[in-house]
Amino acid sequence: MKFNILIAEDEDAVREVLVSIVKMFFVKEYPFLELNVFTAINGQEALDIAKKEHQDMILSDIIMPKMNGLEFIRNVRNFDKGVPILVLSALSSDKDIENIMQSGATNYTSKPLNGKLFTAQIRVFVDFYLRRQNKYNSKAINLFSKYIYKRKVEFFIDKEEDLFEFWEYIIVGIFEQYKVQSILHFVYELEFLMIKKGFSNTIIIEENSENFYLTLLNMDKLDKKIILEELKKRGIKEEEYKLDDFFLSLLILKEEEENKETKVDEQLASSRKKIDIQEQKEVIRDIRYTIHEDVTPEEFLSELDPTYEDKIENFLDDLSLVAVDIYNLENTSSEEAKKNIQDILKYLENFNYIISSLALFNVINRSFEHLIEFLKDIDNEILQNSEKRVLLSKMLQGLADDLESWIIMLFIERKADDIHYFDASFSENCFTIESTFMAVDTSNDFVEEDDLEFF
């Protein structure tokens, strides 16, 4: 998959540094992308390149000869509304930043560069690019299928915490209803081996209407014979995997196993550790989701478009209205409860839209989306039962209180060491609400014991 980046910078030394940073970043985190870096020494040259060759990302200085960055960006927006443009400039006054954003820039970062924030911003742009390819991706990553018609999710694995995020996503997310035990445990153990050997890796989850595809990159770091032996040992059939020098793709059929017992060989079963729901929640609570680099509130907010900060702070006012709806949910009749849920959803969806546009908060965004979908489809039996309705109300109020504390800590008091300090606890709270009412609302236990087996 080709990815074009245009760097417009008139100072030779700065331009060379930017090219070097970008290339190293892509080699480490997006090795499956075919990176093409274009450079320009002024706005006019950059505009000519952008007109001739479509760009997937643009990094631009402002003070340049012949055509400055503001003119360049305005001209680009005349024929390309979607390309993300990150401005890198020493101009830092509120008026300068306002002019930059009004010209059509997507984001701004100051010079001299903050390396952590700069690479985080690039990652956001690339992730948006990959998300846009999900609907019709003619160059699928996996070795099975040439075309992917639905979603694609990517996990960069550099440490055990990253690996647990992957595991938590597939167990309590999209894969819980499918028979995938053997393959997923194999993936976990293989990735854990990579981490022990000091290698980072990327897992790509792709999906079409019939199958899931798990593709592990950088397989050249491990002995191919060992991988094949482990595949055989796990009982993974030849038609369920494809292996080349660099990729390992695993196929998971979308065959629901609602009424079937999962058969696991003794060796696999003995290698797993069984945990209960509470233990799972405690583990999730201890995980710090990051974008692989800590970013403080001061660093993040200094580069943030002020309009976003205003929108988030305005949500504090909305939270008082959310609190009223939550209170009404607890004290209203079952007939009115559905309307209360819809009112609560309106505010949550608005806030989720703001968070998703920032993208650095992808974990919170994903957790929000899961919770919103749950509330949209909430069973009427829950709302008609006063005890369950009261319980749901109290849990939603706890979530709203957490959101309020997070907004104050991050955007007003700016006390947090890292903007991602809240991600894991928020995800755990969303998961708690869903799991509680899934358990309440079914005649069986929340999950079978096998569904909670961990590595």
Higher pLDDT: 369 or 133? It is 369
pLDDT at 274: 36
pLDDT above 70 as % of the chain: 80
Neighbours of 239 (CB within 10 A): 8
Q: Which two tokens stand for residue 148?
A: 């992917």
Digit-coded pLDDT (tens) for 191-205:
888 888 888 888 888
Structure confidence at residue 296 as a pLDDT band (50, 70, 90): confident
Q: Specify the pLDDT at position 175.
A: 59
Q: Is the dihedral of CA 433, 369, 137, 36 positive or negative?
A: negative
- Residue 292 C-alpha from the chain's centroid: 12
* Res 260 pLDDT > 50: no
- Report residue 317's pLDDT band, with 50, 70 and 90 as the boundaries: confident
Q: What is the pLDDT of residue 149?
A: 62
Mean pLDDT of 102-128: 81
Residue 15 has a CB neighbour count (10 Å cut-off) of 18
Q: How far apart are CA 423 and CA 409, in angstroms?
A: 13
Q: Is the pLDDT of residue 306 over 80?
A: no
Using pLDDT thresholds of 50, 70 and 90, give the confidence band for residue 173. Answer: low
pLDDT at 139: 60
Token duo for residue 123:
């990652």
Q: Point out the least confidently predicted range of 2-11, 88-97, 187-196, 354-363.
A: 354-363
Q: What is the predicted pLDDT for the residue at 452?
A: 29
- Residue 134 CA, chain-centre distance (Å), reads 14
Taking residues 121-142, report their average pLDDT: 67
- The residue-averaged pLDDT of 257-264 equals 39
The answer to whether residue 336 scores a pLDDT higher than 50 is yes
| Per-residue pLDDT at 73 | 92
Statement: residue 6 has pLDDT above 90: yes
pLDDT tens-digit series, residues 29-44: 888 788 999 999 999 9
**Closest to 76 (Cα-Cα) out of 35, 46, 109:** 46
Higher-pLDDT residue of 270, 185: 185
**pLDDT over threshold 60, residue 259:** no
> Distances from the Cα of 378 to the Cαs of 258, 313, 437, in angstroms?
21, 29, 9
Cis peptide before 112 (omega within 30 of 0): yes
**What size, in residues, is the chain?**
455
pTM here is 0.47
Alpha carbon distance 42, 320 (integer Å)? 50
Most confident of the following: 121-135, 166-180, 185-199, 263-277:
185-199
What is the rounded average pLDDT of the residues 272-289? 40
Task: Report how far residue 415's alpha carbon sits from residue 301's, in angstroms, rounded to the nearest whole number.
Answer: 12
Using the predicted structure, report yes or no on whether residue 235 has a pLDDT greater than 60: yes
Q: Is the pLDDT assigned to residue 280 strictly greater than 60?
A: no
Rounded CA separation 119/123 (Å): 6
pLDDT at 414: 86
| Domains by residue range for the chain, with CATH | 2-132 (3.40.50.2300), 152-271 (3.30.565), 297-450 (no CATH)
**Pairing between β-strand 248-253 and β-strand 211-216 as defined by DSSP bridges:** antiparallel
Residue 284 in this model has a pLDDT that exceeds 60: no
> Which class for 213: exposed (0-12), middle (13-18), buried (19 or more C-beta within 10 A)?
buried
d(CA 329, CA 242): 52
What is the distance between the alpha carbons of residues 141 and 239, in angstroms, rounded to a whole number? 18
